[in-house]
A and B are shown apart, each in its own frame.
Chain A
Amino acid sequence: MALHTDTILGRIRPIPVLSLMLLGIAPFIYSHPFYLHVLTLTFLFAFVSGAWNLISGYGGLFSLAHAAFFGVGAYTTAILYVDHGITPWLGLFLGGLGGIVVALIIGFATFRLRQFFFVLSTLACSEAIHALFTYWRLQVPTGLGTTIPRNPGFMNLTFGTELPYTIITYVFLLVIVLIVWIINQTRINYFLRAIKNDEDAAICMGVDVFKVKLLIFSISAFFTAVGGGFYAMYNLYIEPDSIFSVDLMIQYIVFAIVGGMATIAGPIIGTVVLLPLTVFFRGWIGGLMAPLGFFVYGILLVIVILLVPGGIMQGIKSLMGENRWMKKASLCWM
């Protein structure tokens, strides 16, 4: 794909780059294991949310198949490590490839459908794969749950302290930001936006809609599966119901929606704002009062969505558009 080589440096915006750098410094400032744990989850889910945003935000295809990609990635990494002794680093990559295979199957089955039919069919495919994995795990002697042995070491992707996990997830986040940014500089970005605006018009303009969708769906699935693989190694225990969980998927979808879909910063902002809040509500109001935490979280979500339906990023952009000074500052934004 051809890049805008003439303006490639001009397209790098300083504020997002600085913000990302600040996030990178955060683990060294807030070095308490609990804060590092929250940061690890934040970076990991910003990464997965960014991967989902690629197909659903930029491509306009609201996918609920990502629970399957996440789960396939997790199981590939975990089983290769536990049963075959293959390093989780390779497992993450193979899990990503597994995610692509599943994406190709789901894509072929669902891309002819549009809007709600597409959404529901992706959910159905995802749940079918969940059921398959559940059936498979019921046939093995160890049962549904898979425990991953704790052998700290870089090649085992298992560490005695929290910091390495945080750094790795931060690198993951940088990778997805870079991937989305690069895609935005290519013709694929034009095709995705055209498809999102009017699929019939796009196909009549010569865009191979099916191929573009499949490509982006596969990239999105790859990174989601990598995220799933890491999640398995981080928790050292997986079972189909938790790893293929629709609830978990809804969380990172909400992060992207609240932050702002079809923007690079949206999923990151959404996760940075909401994930610590969920941890806070679970820890502070949790226990017997846990439902109250969900209630407050839900109310907050409704307020944010009512105030800025296009997400926090849209709110920021509108502010910049209305104010002259902010308009100038927006040249540094994205």
Chain B
Amino acid sequence: MDEKGKPLLDVKDVVKTFGGLMAANHVSFQVMKGEIRGLIGPNASGKTTIINLISGMYSINDGAIFFSGNRIDRLRPDVIASIGIMRTFQISRVFRDMTVLENMMVPSLSQGQTMLKARRRAKELLEFVLLETLMHEPARMLSGGQIMLLQIVRGFMNEHLRLYLMDEPFAGVHQSIKGTILRAISTMNQENGVTFLIVSHEMTAIRNLCHQITVLHEGEVISQGTMEEVASDPLVIDSYLGG
């Protein structure tokens, strides 16, 4: 499907309005296969809206979104997940009354995996992120950082995962858990070829992880490039990084 040189994700001239508010104003950007893309910008610049549009939670008013060359902006979120796009939420949304292990199994079972295989994969991933000792605990018993970690690693359970949309994965997370999250992202990117689109205010993490950065401001893309390029862009300095 992914022809060489063609983007994995192509957001084309996307418009999203909420009443009189223009949350996404003709937003366009492309993410290549295997890339880790940072999506940054000040509060209310439309970053989460973009994640919601790509994941199918919101419908677009105009424009189009392509994934592997196929239009996805009219698909339901569960169908989007089934073609390999997973997401996390800014405020972690785990299934609080289910155990950590059961949380992990949901994406895998929804893709038709057997119970046995889903459980085996879940245990492997929980070991990888050091949550295996908590696997039989209800998710509500976990700390905020552990819940974020669970939310992230749960997305890796989708065996078709190709693009992972992460909304503030490092927000309010302890340094050690942040390290585990960074390690998980790097490993999944390098070993499994998973592409990431990461919304974050954590500039250090973004600088270390991301190959390319897209900067949003008031619903518009104001700059794109490497961290060095966007950091020296006068528009970005003026509207986000500060002079």
List A residues at the B interface (Cβ < 8 Å). Answer: 2-4, 6, 187, 190-191, 193-194, 196-198, 200-209
Contacts and interface: CB of A to CB of B under 8 A. Distances in A.
B95 A194 contact: yes
Nearest to A196: B97
A208 B111 CA distance: 10
Nearest to A205: B107
A6 B55 CA distance: 36
B106 interface: yes
Contacts, number: 73
A161 to B, nearest CB: 46
B76 A204 contact: no
Contact of A191 (B82, B89, B97, B106): B106
A3 B109 CA distance: 12
A198 B87 CA distance: 14
Given A201-B89, A202-B106, A209 B78 contact: yes
Interface string B98-122: 1000100111011100111000000
Given A204-B55, A205-B107, A193 B78 contact: no
7 contacts: A3-B115, A187-B109, A190-B98, A191-B109, A193-B102, A194-B106, A204-B78
B81 to A, nearest CB: 4
A15 B39 CA distance: 55
B93 A200 contact: yes
Contacts of B110: 187, 191, 205-208
Given A187-B115, A198-B93, A205-B86, 4 more contacts: A190-B102, A200-B77, A202-B95, A204-B55
Contact of A197 (B77, B78, B97, B115): B97
Interface in B106-142: 106-107, 109-111, 114-116
B106 to A, nearest CB: 5
Given A193-B98, A197-B95, A203 B77 contact: yes
Contact of A193 (B77, B86, B95, B116): B95
A177 B40 CA distance: 53
Contact of B98 (A2, A187, A194, A209): A194
Contacts of B158: 205-206
Given A187-B115, A193-B95, A193-B98, A204 B86 contact: yes
A207 B95 contact: no
Nearest to A211: B78
- Which of A193, A196, A197, A198 has its CB near the most chain B CB atoms (within 10 A)? A197
B221 interface: no
Given A194-B95, A194-B98, A197-B98, A203 B115 contact: no
B183 interface: no
Contacts of B207: none
A182 B226 CA distance: 54
Contacts of B177: none
A201 B89 CA distance: 8
Contacts of B82: 206
B94 A201 contact: yes
Contacts of A4: 115
